[in-house]
Amino acid sequence: MRGAKSAKWVAIAAVVALGATACGGGGDDGSSGKGKGNGVVSVEIGEPQNGLVPSNTYETEGGQVINALFTGLTKLDADNKVVNAMAQSVETKDNKVWTIKLKSGYTFHNGEKVTAQSFIDAWNYGANQTNAQQTNPLFSHIQGYSDLNPGEGKKPKTDKMSGLKAVGDDTLQITLNGAFSAFPSQLSFTAFVPLPKAFFKDPKGFGEAPIGNGPFKMKGTFKHNEEIDVTKYDKYPDASKIEAKGVNFKIYSNLDTAYKDLVAGNLDVQLVIPNSGLPTYHKDLPGRYIDEADSGVGYIGFPIKYNKAFQNADLRKAISMSIDRKTIASKIFLGARTPADDFISPIIDGYRKGACGDACTLNPAKAKELYKASGGLPGNTLEIGYNADGDHKAWIEAVANQIQQNLGIKVTAKPFEQFQTILNDLDAKKYQGAFRMAWNMDYPDMENYLRPIFSKEAITNGSNYSGYVNEDFEKLLVKGDQAATHEDAVKQYQQADDVLLKDLPYIPVYFYTLNTGFSDKIKSMKIAGHNILWDSVKLS
């Protein structure tokens, strides 16, 4: 029995060791009392992609948290209009040199005063290629940006952009490369917030416990894949307008699960109700939902750059006219989308209802005619690529069926495993078909729906995957940039938009709508640019 006995001991020891590690490392505290009425609002987010560094956050999950922790120079109000936040005034004569006066009274959560230099240091860090920040390209309008981005394998000679100057503690002077009328709007993006001195000592550590200048401050550190807790910062100048005592950002990997938590009352806000909840959310959450237009646009794009067949605008128009957008929006997306009728989202100043006109209206007879006249596609076949990792299969297949039926050609939907695999194939000029594409704004200005997707520079430096080039369009963009007033800029950008509507490098298919649900702990709330407006959140 000797063997058996020692075997028993080894077995027991191993089981104990396994058990001990299981119990030792868990970081969950069972006693974080989050009952109703303590003023803490829980909000669903996905795991932020990176540490919570504003200039390295280019997605909406981390953006939510940054928005609660930081206040920038400008912000969006409930109507998606750009208004001053930390800026007292924003002035310019030529859209190139901007003078911004700061409001006083703002401090970082560690007590440090927010000065013009806090902004300059933060932007210089964000724009420097050695720091490899995701939002780096957003700084490209500022003079001296190219010095910080000399290119692959080269080291920047300086770490400061020449266009940034602090005139005293409370005045910021910014010189851009050229006129850019949308600049104040761009400043509302979370990448442009200030950073305290502590950040530069340890950027990585800062990402786990950021020190902001916003209405909420961190409570503890970023608990990855679990939660991020923030509490109200009492020294925030507008603290009296904020009812929530804190926010508990709960991290979910599965939106359906989050929705169940919302219905069960364990979660207070879910910004995007998942498809599984769409048929029932009005009933599940009586009076506790928001349905409003969102900033996203869904398109179908064409590799115009190298596929000759797609270079005929009439052919693209024919394809566009054979799509029944209403059915897609109401049947496939259950009303969570609306038919697109412009390249610009409806929440943006300058959007024109029905701007796309005929081209975005179902008309099989005319579509067929146009298709024939344009010479058609080789072999009368069309392929539409989409990434199978998102929720795109259903609508792309529906679109494929509609085009097939209405044009009488063979249309197939081709799944790619990730969007980047489509991009790689497009870059290698390997993929000949049409492809699914979408755009979500970085800042609420028409310009953001035009230049980053359709301009010449966006072929290498942006999202112009079709390789579309039109010199008239380029000129009109510059005119818009130089416009003296916002109204004038809108007019110029609309003319640029008209060029797109004629050329149809992409065909707009739907606008996203935001379907948000909240718990009975919240009386009312408003959302702008995918961020919760914390001063609008009223608790019941």
Please list every residue from 301 through 320 that binds another protein, using CB under 8 A: none
Site string for another protein, 438-457 (x = CB under 8 A): xxx-----------------
Q: Which long-range contacts (CB under 8 A, 24 or more apart) does 399-406 make?
A: 399/300, 399/323, 399/328, 399/509, 402/322, 402/323, 402/324, 402/327, 403/319, 403/322, 403/323, 405/322, 405/364, 406/322, 406/362, 406/364, 406/367, 406/368
Site string for another protein, 108-147 (x = CB under 8 A): ---------------------xx-xxx-xx----------
Whether 172 and 140 have beta carbons less than 8 Å apart is answered as: no
Least distance between another protein and beta carbon 492 (Å) = 25
Least distance between another protein and beta carbon 458 (Å) = 8
Whether 319 and 383 have beta carbons less than 8 Å apart is answered as: no
Using DSSP bridges, classify how beta strands 381-387 and 410-416 pair: parallel, antiparallel or unpaired: parallel
* Alpha-carbon gap, residue 220 to 27, rounded angstroms: 13
Distances, alpha carbon 471 to alpha carbons 89, 179, 500, in Å:
35, 18, 12
The three-class DSSP label of residue 76 is: strand
Least distance between another protein and beta carbon 250 (Å) = 7
Site for another protein in 242-261 (CB under 8 A): 250-254, 256-258, 260-261
Site for another protein in 32-51 (CB under 8 A): 32, 34, 47, 49-51
Strand intervals (E) in 340-422: 381-387, 410-416
Site string for another protein, 153-192 (x = CB under 8 A): x---------------------------------------
Based on the shown chain and the rule CB under 8 A, indicate whether residue 29 belongs to the binding site for another protein. yes
Least distance between another protein and beta carbon 261 (Å) = 5
* Alpha-carbon gap, residue 448 to 489, rounded angstroms: 13
Distances, alpha carbon 472 to alpha carbons 180, 317, 487, 500, in Å:
18, 20, 20, 10
Whether 48 and 253 have beta carbons less than 8 Å apart is answered as: no
Least distance between another protein and beta carbon 295 (Å) = 14
Based on the shown chain and the rule CB under 8 A, indicate whether residue 149 belongs to the binding site for another protein. yes
Least distance between another protein and beta carbon 433 (Å) = 17
Which of these, 133, 155, 132, 158, lies nearest to 143 by C-alpha position?
Answer: 158
Comparison of 273 and 409: residue with beta carbon closer to another protein: 273
Site string for another protein, 67-96 (x = CB under 8 A): ------------------------------
Number of Cβ within 10 Å of residue 475's Cβ equals 14
Least distance between another protein and beta carbon 110 (Å) = 23
Q: Which residues pair with 514 in a beta bridge?
A: 292
Least distance between another protein and beta carbon 30 (Å) = 4
The three-class DSSP label of residue 128 is: coil
Angle CA 342–348–351, to nearest 5: 35
Least distance between another protein and beta carbon 252 (Å) = 5
Using DSSP bridges, classify how beta strands 227-232 and 216-218 pair: parallel, antiparallel or unpaired: antiparallel
Comparison of 3 and 379: residue with beta carbon closer to another protein: 3
Whether 524 and 78 have beta carbons less than 8 Å apart is answered as: no
Least distance between another protein and beta carbon 104 (Å) = 35
Least distance between another protein and beta carbon 255 (Å) = 10
Using DSSP bridges, classify how beta strands 434-439 and 506-518 pair: parallel, antiparallel or unpaired: unpaired
Site string for another protein, 400-439 (x = CB under 8 A): -----------------xxxxx-xx------------xxx
DSSP assignment letter at 191? G
Based on the shown chain and the rule CB under 8 A, indicate whether residue 365 belongs to the binding site for another protein. no
Which of these, 333, 299, 291, 347, lies nearest to 514 by C-alpha position?
Answer: 291
Number of Cβ within 10 Å of residue 260's Cβ equals 15
Least distance between another protein and beta carbon 187 (Å) = 20
Based on the shown chain and the rule CB under 8 A, indicate whether residue 540 belongs to the binding site for another protein. no
Residue of the chain from 152, 157, 365, 485 that contacts another protein (CB under 8 A): 152
Site string for another protein, 465-504 (x = CB under 8 A): x---------------------------------------
Comparison of 250 and 317: residue with beta carbon closer to another protein: 250
Tokens of 328: 């897609």
Number of residues that bind another protein (CB under 8 A): 77
Least distance between another protein and beta carbon 262 (Å) = 9
Comparison of 129 and 374: residue with beta carbon closer to another protein: 129
The CA-to-CA distance between both ends of the chain, in Å, stands at 71
Residue of the chain from 264, 287, 379, 471 that contacts another protein (CB under 8 A): 264
* Alpha-carbon gap, residue 533 to 310, rounded angstroms: 43
Residue of the chain from 110, 162, 225, 311 that contacts another protein (CB under 8 A): 225
Comparison of 280 and 381: residue with beta carbon closer to another protein: 280
Which of these, 313, 324, 260, 245, lies nearest to 509 by C-alpha position?
Answer: 324
Stretch that binds another protein, among 10-18, 86-94, 182-190, 469-477 (CB under 8 A): 10-18
Q: Which residues pair with 102 in a beta bridge?
A: 87
Based on the shown chain and the rule CB under 8 A, indicate whether residue 202 belongs to the binding site for another protein. no
* Alpha-carbon gap, residue 253 to 227, rounded angstroms: 12
Tokens of 84: 């001053």
Residue bearing tokens 């099989």: 364
Stretch that binds another protein, among 14-22, 347-355, 358-366, 406-414 (CB under 8 A): 14-22
